[in-house]
Chains A and B, each alone.
Chain A
Amino acid sequence: MARFIVRRLIASIFLLIVVSAVVFLLFYVFPSADPAQLRAGRQANADQIQAIRESLGLDKSVIAQFWIYIKGVFTPLDLPGTDSHGPLYFGHSYQSNADVKDVIFSDLPATVMLVVGAVIVWMGVAIPTGIISAVRRRSFLDRATMITTLIFISAPVFWLGLVFLYLFADDVGLIPIFPGIGSYGAADTFAGKVGAMILPWLVLGLATAAIYARYLRSQMLDVMEEDYIRTAYAKGLPDKRVIMKHTLRSAITPIVTLLGLDVAVLLAGNAILTETVFNIPGVGAETFNAIKRSDLPMIQGITLFGAFFIVTLNLVVDIAYAYLDPRVRYD
């Protein structure tokens, strides 16, 4: 197992270098606004723009820029002309001059809070719903649940967010019970931030729960057809034990994979829609701004963080698998 983990970690570093290269390439190959010009503003003359370009290092070749970037992130070398040093130096924003790492770390708490709460909501809703639907297959309850989940899956998250705000936000809602747009940024206590997160948690959590509930249901139905489930009944085990100990245990494994990937992708900025609707200053919102401003270091930094989350959580999922399924061994 230890060897497997070390091997995977080494592979991950190469993967992250490749991801950086691809982002660099995309940034230069596809048309985007000139960062130096954006930074200089409208009144600047050519000399000023050129000076900015040089100070940002944009006058160097793409290869040289990429090399400097990789050195900063992956090697402990000091970089000439900057006051920040590697390793894990992701550069400064072209537009605000802020250290990319600091920006991401300041955005991360809001996103982590959003994702963790949403995961609790969606797993808490999806697991019981999936089990009940599978066990009471074709019952009224099952059909009602499956139709409801279909609605939640079909509805875009931003629309769902707006509907929830319209219904429940304390400023504009019909039933004003939960804090609405922008309340996260306005809250200065932890309790206040938790309150502000209730609606985003519900929206992101329920939208995802719908997918998980359906997936778990179909997994459960598959496992229920397995021979060893019939063996369990033939042994005279109570239904509850067959369902919880034998069926659910098998059916939950693929859900773990899905969960690992979803959490990684959400932390990497995929919560952008929820964050935008509720005006939560998280990684998703930062991504949006960075793309708008041609801010390559920010885009690079966020992408690398995202890739890092995905790689890490995949590894965690693979390790978890070895515990969930004794047939899986890594040697």
Chain B
Amino acid sequence: MSAAEENAAILEVADMRVWYGTRGDPVRAVDGVSFSIGAGETLGLVGESGCGKSTLGRGTLGLLPPMASVSGSVRYDGRELVGMDPKELRDMRGPELGLIFQEPMTRLDPLQTIEKHFRETLRTHEPDLDDDEVRRRSLEALAGMGIPPTRFKQYPHEFSGGMRQRIMIALALVLNPKVLIADEPTTALDVIVEAQILGILADLRRNFDTAVLLITHNLGIVAEACDRVAVMYAGEIVEQGDAREVFAEPAHPYTRELLRATISLETTGLNYIDGAPPSLIDPPPACRFHPRCPNAMAVCAELAPEETTGGGGQRVRCWLNGPEERIPEGGREPLEREEIAAAEEA
């Protein structure tokens, strides 16, 4: 990471861990993740379902269920959010840290009109606003999303999924948050609405210098909308860097396989990664990807890879990328097949 980038970072996450308590061993949904986002920058967070992406997004805002525990550091604008007084953090949610969820159909309270949703949001953070001002600002935010003022007093069930998602976004943006975490904001929507929403997010960082963490499993969206990308696997970020460079020259086999699995018009056959994402209760030792990795070496099952710099300037955790001097003797031998099968079984 360059010094300039570091200076501009508005959100800095360092060695964050989120574990969910269960009856048995904890689920390590996020396990030692570090990244940062600068003002006006969009970071794409990609990975398979169940790799901890959403947990990471929610954990950043302290919105985890009671049985989750968080450690590490989340710094927003120089302030530490982990362990912050809940009331103080609550006041920051909305005006400072905005969150857009997936599943727009169920994200609005079915018993309240759109007007009430907005009034409640605005009044909570700016109690002195009068009715006219609340109305003006709400309608302005809705107009930005293409929702006409005539529908202000309607209930959520009177809107389509795409409209509800745009209302959700308007609701998050009406307070002008400096950091916006968008958790698969387009997953449930058709491509036209998806394009609209990506356009809105792009406007946002241009016009308001908003930092956006865009969580998605769609690499096309990342390529289109993100400055940088972080690839997550089994609770860890395995590769992160400039989006164009990572896609042009993926340094981690997982990123490479993920890119190969993307479908486009030129696709002639389907590529997939053998096996399923590992259990987060008892993840594979050392490199968590080694049981599924086509390039696995003996060392991958022995030692956890260290962070190195890849060909595109990205940060990557993979022994293929070194550091050479840390690989024990014979570690470069291909991992034996039986071992792969056994690890997969586990």
Q: Please report A residues at the B interface, Cβ cutoff 8 Å.
A: 226-228, 230-238, 241, 245-246, 249-250, 324-327
Contacts and interface: CB of A to CB of B under 8 A. Distances in A.
Contacts of B157: 326-327
A246 B111 CA distance: 8
A230 B65 CA distance: 10
A228 B91 contact: no
Interface in B178-210: none
7 contacts: A231-B101, A231-B171, A233-B90, A234-B99, A234-B172, A235-B124, A237-B124
B111 A325 contact: yes
Nearest to B66: A137
Contact of A234 (B93, B110, B113, B125): B93
A320 to B, nearest CB: 14
Interface string B74-98: 0000000000000000111111001
A235 B94 contact: yes
B120 interface: yes
Given A241-B124, A327-B157, A233 B63 contact: yes
Interface residues of B, number: 29
B219 interface: no
B171 A236 contact: no
Contacts, number: 73
B93 A230 contact: no
B13 interface: no
Contacts of A235: 93-94, 120-121, 124, 171
Contacts of B109: 228, 231-232, 246, 249-250
Given A231-B101, A236-B93, A249 B111 contact: yes
B155 interface: yes
Given A227-B106, A228-B110, A233 B155 contact: no
Contacts of A238: 90, 124
Given A236-B124, A237-B124, A238-B124, A231 B93 contact: no
Majority SS of interface residues in chain A?
A: helix
A236 B95 contact: yes
B106 A228 contact: yes
**Which 7 A-B pairs give the minimum distances between C-beta atoms?**
A236-B93, A236-B94, A227-B106, A234-B99, A228-B109, A326-B155, A231-B107
A226 B110 CA distance: 11
Given A235-B93, A235-B124, A237-B120, A326 B111 contact: yes
B96 to A, nearest CB: 9
B59 to A, nearest CB: 13
B111 A234 contact: no
Contacts of B120: 235, 237, 241, 245
B108 interface: yes
Contacts of B110: 228, 250, 325-327
Interface in B17-70: 61, 63
A230 B101 contact: yes
B151 to A, nearest CB: 14
B13 to A, nearest CB: 18
Contacts of B101: 227, 230-231, 234
Contacts of A250: 109-111
Nearest to A253: B111
Given A234-B94, A249-B111, 18 more contacts: A226-B106, A227-B101, A228-B109, A231-B101, A231-B109, A231-B171, A233-B93, A234-B61, A234-B93, A234-B101, A237-B90, A237-B124, A250-B109, A324-B111, A326-B111, A326-B113, A326-B155, A327-B155
A325 B109 CA distance: 11
B293 to A, nearest CB: 35
A234 B124 contact: no
Nearest to B94: A236
Nearest to A229: B109
Interface in B96-129: 98-99, 101, 103, 106-113, 120-121, 124-125
